[in-house]
Amino acid sequence: MAFFVAQNFFMATALFDRATNIASELEQATIADAAALELFRIRYLGSKNIIKDLFAEMKLVPNERKKEFGQVVNALKQQAEEKYEIFKQALSLSDTGTKQQSQDLTMPGFPVPLGSRHPVSVIRKKVIDIFGRIGFQVAEGPEIEDEWHNFTALNIPEDHPARDMTDSFYIEMPGVILRSQTSNVQIRVMETQKPPIRIIAPGRVYRNETITYKHHVFFHQLEGLYVDKNVSFADLKQTMYYFFKEFFGDAFEWRFRPSFFPFTEVSAELDIRKKGTTQWMEILGCGMVHPKVLENCNIDPEVYSGYAWGMGIERLVLLKYGIPDIRLLTENDVRFLEQFEAAW
């Protein structure tokens, strides 16, 4: 027993001597450059530094001296941290002075890399430019909307099955939702402006749908509205032909197909396919504004008529660039987005 007590005494004495030597090293340490500073950090503050080794050997110190030894080691750690900060600050000031002395103000600056526009933003601007050439102005409205402007005024009462087709996200306030279409902007414009009305309404919309390669819970839509005297379905067809000719050129062909929407009568869907292929893709819905919708906005359907359409901007993006999955547009992968730096 006496042997082990003596042994622990000598080991503790050796540990205290090591701590004294490390303190002396820290006191006399100097650094000349960043490399020396990093070596200092590794030796005294790194994950396997020599001060941490002393902590690990605390078990060899007799119980009556553990407190004293712990205080010594903690003081070493604090001394090393303070010394490192002093060296770091001194080196930083030295580097700044050197840079100021060696800086040549006549040298050209470093180039600032430019980011790229998101493909949805690129296509949105392109579509707005095309319709702007024939007199359509941009109108905007709230994304948080009441049921009147999002559904009821569009001839979709509460018990109408069409509400299930555009199921949205309801919030805690009764009767308030995230809009499922930008048709709410059409209603707000017709409530506050007299015909003639010629607008497009781009914006983000929300649908309670399962996310797949071609559907998402939110996407960007662009709707159009033209209300005036003697507006016909022929005007609608020519407007759509003009747009797709300008947007896609001669690479695609399109067709109108009869359909149903509560807010238009007659209604149609426009399909598109690349020339030489057989698969059609629905690209937008359109039709003549339903007389009931005009009445809800205090516009006399006996005097005025109009047409409207709605298209998903993401779908245009997928077609234009040949992107196979709509989810790529919202993942914010820089490698994907950089491909569109030179687009338009």
Instruction: State the number of CA atoms in the 13 A half-sphere of 213 facing the CB.
Output: 4
Per-residue model confidence (pLDDT) at position 101: 54
Is pLDDT above 60 for 262? yes
Domain that holds residue 72: 2-102
> Does residue 309 share a domain with residue 161?
yes
DSSP state, residue 261: B
pLDDT at 6 over 80: no
Which residues lie below 8 Å from residue 204, measured CB to CB, with a gap of 6+?
A: 143, 218, 219, 220, 221
- List, in sequence order, every residue forming a beta bridge with 257; answer none if it has no partner: 269
Whether residue 110 lies inside any domain: the answer is no
Judge whether residue 341 has pLDDT over 80.
no
Q: Are residues 153 and 237 in the same domain?
A: yes
- On whether both 317 and 241 belong to a single domain, the answer is yes
pLDDT at 155: 85
Mean pLDDT along residues 80-94? 81
Residues 207 and 164: their CA atoms lie apart, in Å, by: 10
Taking the C-alpha atoms of residue 56 and residue 77, their distance in angstroms, rounded to an integer, is 14
Give 337's contacts (C-beta < 8 A, 6+ positions apart).
116, 118, 119
What is the Cα 97 distance to its own chain's centre? 41
280 and 183 fall within a common domain? yes
Answer whether residue 176 is part of any domain. Answer: yes
187 vs 41, higher pLDDT: 187
Full-model pTM: 0.64
How far apart are the two ends of the chain, measured CA to CA in Å? 87
40 and 149 belong to one structural domain = no
Rounded to 5°, the CA angle 153-236-307 comes to: 15
Structure tokens at 271: 């399909």
Same domain, 95 and 9: yes
State the Cα–Cα distance between residues 47 and 41, nearest whole angstrom. 10
pLDDT at 128: 95
Q: For the segment 211-246, what is each residue's pLDDT rounded down to a tens digit?
A: 887 778 889 999 999 999 999 999 999 999 999 889
For 168-172, the CB contacts below 8 A with 24+ separation are 168/206, 168/207, 168/208, 169/206, 169/208, 169/217, 171/144
- Average pLDDT (27-36) is 83
Instruction: Pick the last residue of a domain from 74, 102, 130.
Output: 102
Tens digit of each residue's pLDDT (9 = 90 or more) over 304-328? 999 999 999 998 998 888 888 888 8
pLDDT of residue 162: 56
Does the residue 88 lie in any domain?
A: yes
* Number of domains observed in the structure of the chain: 2
Residues 49 and 182 in one domain: no
CA-to-CA distance for 44 and 51, rounded, in angstroms?
A: 6
* Mean pLDDT of the chain, nearest integer: 84
The predicted pLDDT at position 2 comes to 41
Residue 249 has pLDDT above 90, yes or no: no
What single letter denotes the amino acid at residue 70? G
pLDDT of residue 5: 44
Q: Is residue 179 part of a domain?
A: yes
Q: Could you tell me if 308 and 228 are in contact, meaning their C-beta atoms sit under 8 angstroms apart? A: no
Q: Which two tokens stand for residue 18?
A: 């090591």
The CA distances from residue 159 to 115, 126, 156, 218, in Å, are 48, 38, 8, 24
Q: Is residue 95 part of a domain?
A: yes
* 336 and 221 together in one domain: yes
Determine how many CB atoms are found less than 10 A away from the CB of residue 27. 9
Retrieve residue 242's tokens.
């003009």
50 and 140 co-located in one domain = no
**pLDDT band, very low/low/confident/very high, at 192 (cuts 50, 70, 90):** very high
The answer to the question of residue 161 being in a domain is yes
In the block, residue with structure tokens 């390669």? 213
The reported pLDDT for the residue numbered 167 is 63
Same domain, 87 and 126: no
CA distance 92 to 87: 9
Read off the pLDDT band of 4 (50, 70, 90). Answer: very low
